[in-house]
Amino acid sequence: MDEEHLHDDLHDFKDRNFFRLKLRSFATVYLLLALSFLLIFTLFAVSLSRVSAISSKLQEVPLEQRHNISGRDFLLFPCGPRSREWEYFDGKCYYFSLTRTSWHKAKAQCEEMHSQLAVINSYAKQNFVMFRTRNERFWIGLTDENSEGEWEWVDGTDYKTTFTFWKEGEPNNSGSNEDCAHVWGSGKWNDVYCTYECYYICEKPVPK
């Protein structure tokens, strides 16, 4: 009987020991968690104070230097961070449409975006357009609607003294109804009726 009591006491002692060890291990885990949260909170507070300090220092930077900082944004998004669909080339921004429409509707849509149908007045710009349009047909800002054979750029650029890149035999006013110009084929220009639907190119100055 004494042996049975001794065995029971020993068993109770082991249970109590096991329970104490469990409590200690839980206490250690909770302590580590508390220390982790404290560390995270401290790091967050330090980061927040640093951001606040940098912000206040930035306000103290002279205006000229601030422009230099914004110049970095210009290198990434020369046409503006909200105009990522516009492409930069040689001091201007260009939009190549993803939908087809008539020349007059294309002209109106460019104007709604504070731009104009593209004026191609140099071989460099022609090369840029040729590479970008890749044999698709795109309206440009050239028309002779006002007087047959008297081609005019939408921005008033003098057509007679500037660069041209017509396809061989063009403009030919086929059907006596071809008054608007687009790029086609290998990027050369062609005259076609203005209600024809094709893509279009808008251009605008780089935003200040």
Total number of domains constituting the chain: 1
Between 208 and 197, the higher pLDDT residue? 197
- Give per-residue pLDDT as tens, 13-41: 455 555 565 566 677 877 888 788 788 87
Question: Which pLDDT does position 177 carry in this prediction?
Answer: 94
Select from 141, 143, 136, 142 the least CA-distant residue to 98.
Answer: 136
pTM: 0.65
> Does any domain span residue 22?
no
> Does any domain span residue 148?
yes
Per the CB < 8 A criterion, the answer to whether 84 and 183 are in contact is: no
> Does any domain span residue 176?
yes
> Does any domain span residue 61?
no
> Does any domain span residue 165?
yes
Between 196 and 78, the higher pLDDT residue? 196
- Give the whole-number percent of the chain exceeding pLDDT 70: 73
DSSP notation for 68-137? HHHHHHHHH-TT-TT-TTSEEETTEEEEE-SS-B-HHHHHHHHHHTT-EE----SHHHHHHHHHHHTT--
Between 121 and 71, the higher pLDDT residue? 121
Q: Which domain holds residue 127?
A: 82-205
- Give the whole-number percent of the chain exceeding pLDDT 90: 57
Check which CATH number belongs to the domain holding 88 and give it: 3.10.100.10
